[in-house]
Amino acid sequence: MQGLELLFGALWDLMSFQTLFNAAWAVLLGIIVGALPGLTATMGVALLTTLTYKLVPDQAILTLICMYVGAIYGGSRSAILLNIPGTPASAAAALDGFQLAKAGRAGEAMGIATTSSAIGTIIGTLALAAVAPMLANVALDFHSYEFFWLALFGVIISGQLTTTKAPVKGYIAGILGLLVAMIGMEGIHAHVRFDFGFSELNGGIGLIPAMVGAFGFAEVLNVMYTRRVEMKRSKVDRVIPRFADIWRYKVTSLRSGIIGTFIGIIPGVGEDIGAWASYAAARKSSKTPEEFGKGSIDGLTAAETGDNAVVPGALIPALTLAVPGSAPAAVLIAALFIHGVRPGPMIMIEQPQFVYSIVGMLLFATLGILVFGLLLTRPLLHVLRIPRERLMPIVFVLCVVGPYALTQRMFDVWVVLFFGIAGFILRRMDYPMAPLVLGIILGDLLDKNLRRGLVLSEGDLTPFFMRPISMVFWVVILLTILLSIGPVRSGSTALGRRLWLKAQSITAR
């Protein structure tokens, strides 16, 4: 009952012209960012953070949430029309969506994708409203020892965000972020560390310049380095789907929404896995699996419902544990800290209505993708034909002007350039950027709670390993690292298979 009161109170507080206006332009901008190949949801949220610094916190976070939702949805536009996924999450939608477009059913495909995206977001949002308060209550038992392992867990699990076959590169990127967080004045005794004689480093490395450089300027360099993408033209027919078409795939939508939400809750997995897992489940349960990949509405529905359900699902651990469920969620955690919101176990004590405000923001974003997705398909088609090389100068200007405008320090511009070049080099070597940024965010939490825990235990490490929640964390961290090693993972899989066959033979007797 209290939860319903907080939810209705949050929705009432959001009911204003300013909320509708900010939600509208942020969703539209997110759709454009997601639709243009090379501009990802992660980069969109990172760049928009610099432009929302002067907004009141609720409106700033609203625009970031709407950007996130719009960008994940927007990737399906180019996936269907051009067979070029705007975001990695839309790769599954391209399989059937582009085949439908080639068959002259592009409008129908985009209409189904739009309604499926909205349904997936709503399913995930309902789960956020129900699960987040319960998870936050469990997390109230956390102390310094648990917070240390939580911060380390966030950095380690974010290493799984990499799409390479070497998760160790994700771990290295996260550790680099932790090392960057150690620069400057530490938080307990105000001792300056690792300034190397530069007074500008006394205050540490700013999160916004580092984040914008790693995601924004690095992407500009990457686009300049890679080959130009050629866009193909496509015609659009009827866009608004019939209710019967939506109702026919209700089971697929519900199943994919639940799968996507669950995938989102698992830290470090992401929207693309949610799309592929939902697609695989739909194909396995379909009566016509041979149609998948050849223009199946069922497959398109599953992919779009699944990846969009991941968005609110990823916010569940992000809000209650400060552990991201996806790469954009990692950047969003940074934005929450910047705007004075402390995600983590104390959020339901310090700001109990905020979680329900996020629910309301997601509902506004869902309304936005429905309206823009169904009404502005043809105008957005013209936006897709803009070569991304022409957009990069604008992105570069935003990368430089945004961080400089916040502090009026030229040093922050150099930080943007440094992290941009470093991020570009690391990307060419398949190192992910999200763990690097998350390491900078969680470094202070890890450092303070490690030293605070050692003070409380008088230098004894036992509480870090023997307290129940701490034990769960370090065991999960150890298993995560071990299973990321190829031979260990192969051996554990083979052992599990042998145990399963042995159990089956015993049961047969």
Cα distances from 478 to residues 226, 432, 471, 472, in angstroms, run 38, 21, 11, 10
The answer to whether the beta carbons of residues 447 and 437 sit under 8 Å apart is: no
> Which structural domain range is residue 167 located in?
2-486
Does residue 109 have a pLDDT over 90? no
The answer to whether the beta carbons of residues 420 and 399 sit under 8 Å apart is: yes
> Which DSSP helix (H) or strand (E) runs through 192?
strand 192-193
Q: What is the pLDDT of residue 267?
A: 64
Q: What is the C-alpha separation between 260 and 254, in angstroms, rounded?
A: 10
Does residue 228 have a pLDDT over 60? no
Task: Mention every residue, 6+ apart, whose C-beta is less than 8 A from residue 207.
Answer: 334, 337, 338, 437, 440, 441
Residue 156 is encoded by which pair of tokens?
A: 């380690």
Does 507 map to a domain?
Answer: no
**Residues of the chain above pLDDT 70, percent:** 82
More confident residue, 440 or 59: 59
Cα 366 from chain centroid? 17
Residue 230 is encoded by which pair of tokens?
A: 């050629």
Does 504 map to a domain?
Answer: no
More confident residue, 43 or 499: 43
Q: What is the C-alpha separation between 150 and 470, in angstroms, rounded?
A: 9
Does 211 map to a domain?
Answer: yes
The answer to whether the beta carbons of residues 78 and 384 sit under 8 Å apart is: yes
Does 342 map to a domain?
Answer: yes
Cα distances from 385 to residues 29, 94, 391, in angstroms, run 16, 18, 11
Does 498 map to a domain?
Answer: no
Q: What is the pLDDT of residue 231?
A: 46
User: Which amino acid appears at position 305 of this protein?
Assistant: T
Task: Mention every residue, 6+ apart, whose C-beta is less than 8 A from residue 429.
Answer: 169
Q: Which of 226-235, 408-417, 485-494 has the lowest mean pLDDT?
A: 226-235
pTM, 2 dp: 0.70
- Averaged pLDDT of the chain: 79
* Domain tally, the chain: 1
Does 205 map to a domain?
Answer: yes
Does residue 394 have a pLDDT over 80? no
Cα distances from 216 to residues 47, 211, 289, 358, in angstroms, run 7, 8, 40, 25
Residue 438, helix vs strand vs coil: helix
Q: What is the C-alpha separation between 225 and 219, in angstroms, rounded?
A: 10
- Average pLDDT, integer, range 262-272: 72
Does residue 329 have a pLDDT over 60? yes
Does residue 221 have a pLDDT over 90? no
Does residue 485 have a pLDDT over 90? no
What count of Cα atoms within 13 Å lies in the side-chain half-sphere of residue 28? 14
pLDDT tens string 135-174: 766 666 677 888 788 778 777 766 665 444 677 888 888 8
The answer to whether the beta carbons of residues 320 and 135 sit under 8 Å apart is: yes
Does 407 map to a domain?
Answer: yes
Does 63 map to a domain?
Answer: yes
